[in-house]
Structure 1
């Protein structure tokens, strides 16, 4: 568990299993096979050799588009909600992916002023007027970010669901689960755009459409 009492990790389907995700036998596989053979007759399987592995080398990635664009909203968003207070993923009937939370920053005398999102679950990419200004994370935890008043007025938080707790207390709502503050003021009047990112075809079409404009 991380310092923020939350530790996301990559899901694996071979948690201490006799065979790996690639289908290769492990030492546990052979131990189980030998134990079973003591009590039950069975034909030894000849297909338990480790599969050939390949190296694919370095894969270079390049930026092609932004999820904040009108085209991305049109292709990937499955709906939008408006509320005085931010709603969780569950309240928006969304299980995974991202939700874009947008509101306007109130006037303040402090520069920079402090953005505080104590109920963040789990990670937020912070933009002001479509410009990236920082990251908030439940893992570490980083729930506070100074923002210069010269950055702009429209606050945009792309909140990512990084996985649900699967042991201990399992009530683990996602999104912004409590009030967010800017300086000493509670942020209100949120627009929330849903990006479940469940359709590979829609993502691929966006990349092809927007990527062709950057070439």
Structure 2
């Protein structure tokens, strides 16, 4: 009987040990113990497209007007808003939106020379412009004027988001130009700074 009790006691001890070991292995199987720390790495990447938005200031939206000319020849006729700011600054602007995320260069061109309904033409090179990132009574400067062409050309570089490009326009009319109302279309394009038109 004593042997049977010792056997039961040993059996109970083994049973408790096996149950405890099973419990431990069942609940702690995901814990792996090692003697070293490990690490891994991976890349993280995003590509953000360049976004640009421009808008004409109010006076440029209304067109480039040279008014009435009574005497020919006429040289360097100012457009009506070339000097109408409080201190004779230009109020012709192309504005870069604050939600743009890149600097902008401006390109410009004319559709043709100024043309009358009778198809008389003031040559495209007779209409000129100058542009700058600031404006005073002398900037943009007449001395920096450039003739319009019928292909886009860079007019002004590096205008940052939230800023404006300031423009002045002039017109030369030769002595024998027939009377009439003349017009054309002037185009402006903003491109990512450093890119071609």
Shorter-chain TM band:
0.3 to 0.5
Q: Which structure would you say has the larger Rg?
A: 2
TM-score, normalization by structure 2: 0.35
TM-score, normalization by structure 1: 0.33
